[in-house]
Structure 1
């Protein structure tokens, strides 16, 4: 994931993309790029698997290494793709009309069951004031609204990525970095900005046939490196997962300012390298899961309710589940869950919540083709 030549945001990619509905895409004349749908689906699966592995990172050194590998890049690459397909926000005020119906309303719908799980399944009291506070994976919708609102600013900066990196490094020093949502928003900002301003030609270079073996090799080597670092014969400092979660300030992690910034800079660089390898390893043409990659927000918003149900009820803590065979079974179940939530029947049943018909909240005004397309997270 190379840094772009600094300047204003380049033109949009040559290969335009359609909304998650195929018919709308045909009506508007847009053509989806299967490469990005493949990448989105793979990234969404990593989100599901990563949230499941979070419950088992202390059960196995192998799972711990795999867990650290996934968390080292899966959200950064998800945010990068989101930025890449948020370019319209730098040029069209009409795009901002979509934020309320496609992000704010789904947030208000989903935060209720996520908060209700805490009360009903964990038996913890909840204040009314906490009802709409971000919980678990809901931080992403809040961050996405703020990132897209800031999009025009980055198009006018001479060195947007460098400024975003400075913000990310400096954010860990601020007291509000103890708020996980704000900390993630600032920490992951460079990946959104990079996606927003990168020259599409540089992304195309990752898609060359020669880059795929290298990308696969890097992804295979990464968990081996994490395993050797954490469990090898050398006395190396432990990897603080909060650096890979992007949810904590340096003081909270027990770091000095320089140590914290060095740790975050390392996390940024690691995510960029692994993210580039991930994109290089993606299939270029249509696959059996290409269409599933058009429904990543369904996977993202719905899987957390399933994972947290098993977590809060203690199923993931059962001794039988924490055996090597049990961990493999749970991992396969997580992949199956990701596939299931990407299917058309699930979309049909839950579209009212994930992509609600909420445009009635907006004033009647001129519409552009791009402004009426649903924005499903890191989707096209």
Structure 2
């Protein structure tokens, strides 16, 4: 069944998740120097994208419409903003301390290697395009988990076209598609205690990953092969399998703990696209401010405050409406009018 109304549980969840996306990207620049920041970062990355991808799948039940609109709503925005990102990267080569000669390196500019956060937009494009065909395959959900774990055995599947991440997160997208609104709300009947215990377990795992096992945060990105890390193949496969378990458990946590009534988070959740596509540039501004500060504690406070401000401002209706108008105008310049 395709939803024709707003689901406050979904909107609230998306509001929390888009804040965590901005927070995770902001913490990127402090995590290697402080264990507490690494633990926060690891905890967020254990679940925030699995749950986000699950919700994306849940909202993709109109598969033919999704495929029909995928180029306009996902590929064109990706191509535009990835070009902007590449230009910013090229410009940064001129900054003091960089080798200006590297600006001529053609490998620096890649249309189909997503820059930073843009992998999710390209993965969404691929999922929307291939979902109608994937659903025709028997036991596709189980197969997708096997493929997601096995894909990182091969170094060929990396950041190009976000192939590694697309395959790794496909099980969450399919799970979302197969989950009905009724099933989602049925998860709330088990009470909140299991969800609180799962959350505590997630925090404990994040601490163990950092303090005991020294698992790199990059492992949770799922954008590179296992042999990139000095963990060992067997341990890497076990960790990847564990990541699926944690991701699905936190889907339950969100379904169980997140309010199903209208809250201030709903506005954030309704306007996630503008936040997602624009926030990295604003994080850059926050980092410029931090570069003039020596105290890491003050840097941390500025980053957390900046995360709240960026998420709040970019999720305002006036920003979202103007942003969507810009994307619609971009498509009008590219595509002929439909008859």
User: In the TM superposition, what are the counterparts of 1:131-170 in structure 2 within 5 Å?
Assistant: 131-133=110-112, 134-170=114-150
Residue equivalent to 2:35: 61
Aligned counterparts of 1:213 and 1:340: Cα–Cα separation in 2: 34
Corresponding residue number in structure 2 for 1:195: 176
How far has the Cα of 1:338 moved from its partner?
Answer: 0.6
For the residues of structure 2 that align with 1:79 and 1:171, how far apart are their CA atoms? 18
CA contact (8 A) 1:171 1:187 kept: yes
How many pairs does the alignment contain?
A: 328
Distance 1:188 1:229, change over 3 A: closer
Q: Deviations over 1:203-224 (max 9, x none)?
A: 222334x534542453355324
Query: Which is richer in helix?
Result: 2
Normalised to the residue count of structure 1, the TM-score between the two structures is 0.78
- Which residue does 2:163 correspond to in 1? 182
Q: Name the SS of the counterpart of 1:201 in structure 2.
A: helix
321, 334, 337: which one pairs with 1:348? Answer: 321
Question: Equivalent residues in 2 for 1:225-240 (5 A)?
Answer: 225-228=205-208, 230-231=210-211, 236-240=212-216
Measured at CA, do residues 356 and 131 of structure 1 come closer, stay the same or move farther in structure 2, by a change above 3 Å? farther
Structure 1: how far apart are the matches of 2:141 and 2:290?
40
Shift in Å, 1:36: 0.6
Secondary structure, counterpart of 1:207 in structure 2 = helix
The answer (yes or no) to whether the contact 1:80–1:191 under 8 Å persists in 2 is yes
The normalised TM-score by structure 2 is 0.87
Does residue 116 of structure 1 match 2:96?
no
Contact 1:213–1:281 (8 Å) recurs in 2: no
User: Alpha-carbon deviation of 1:356?
Assistant: 4.5
Say if 1:117 and 1:259 are closer, same or farther in 2 by CA, change over 3 A. same
Aligned to 2:262: 286
In the alignment, the residues of structure 1 paired with residue 70 and residue 125 of structure 2 have an alpha-carbon distance, to the nearest angstrom, of: 7
> Structure 2 regions of 5+ residues with no counterpart?
95-101
Distance 1:254 1:295 in 2: 40
Please point out which of 188, 198, 201 is paired with 1:207: 188
Structure 1 residues not aligned, in runs of 5+ = 1-11, 17-29, 366-380
Distance 1:75 1:362, change over 3 A: farther
Q: CA RMSD in A?
A: 2.5
1:86, distance to aligned residue in structure 2 (A): 1.0
How far residue 173 of structure 1 moved from its aligned partner, in angstroms, is: 1.4
Which residue matches 1:297?
273
Aligned counterpart in structure 2 of residue 327 of structure 1, from 276, 280, 300: 300
Cα distance in 1 for residues equivalent to 2:132 and 2:286 = 41
Is structure 2 residue 217 aligned with structure 1 residue 241?
Answer: yes
Q: Is the counterpart of residue 307 in structure 1 residue 287 in structure 2?
A: no
**In structure 2, how many angstroms separate the alpha carbons of the residues matched to 1:69 and 1:257?**
23
Shift of 1:251: 1.7
Structure 1 pair 223–356 and aligned structure 2 pair: CA distance change class (3 A) = farther
Match status 1:39 vs 2:19: no
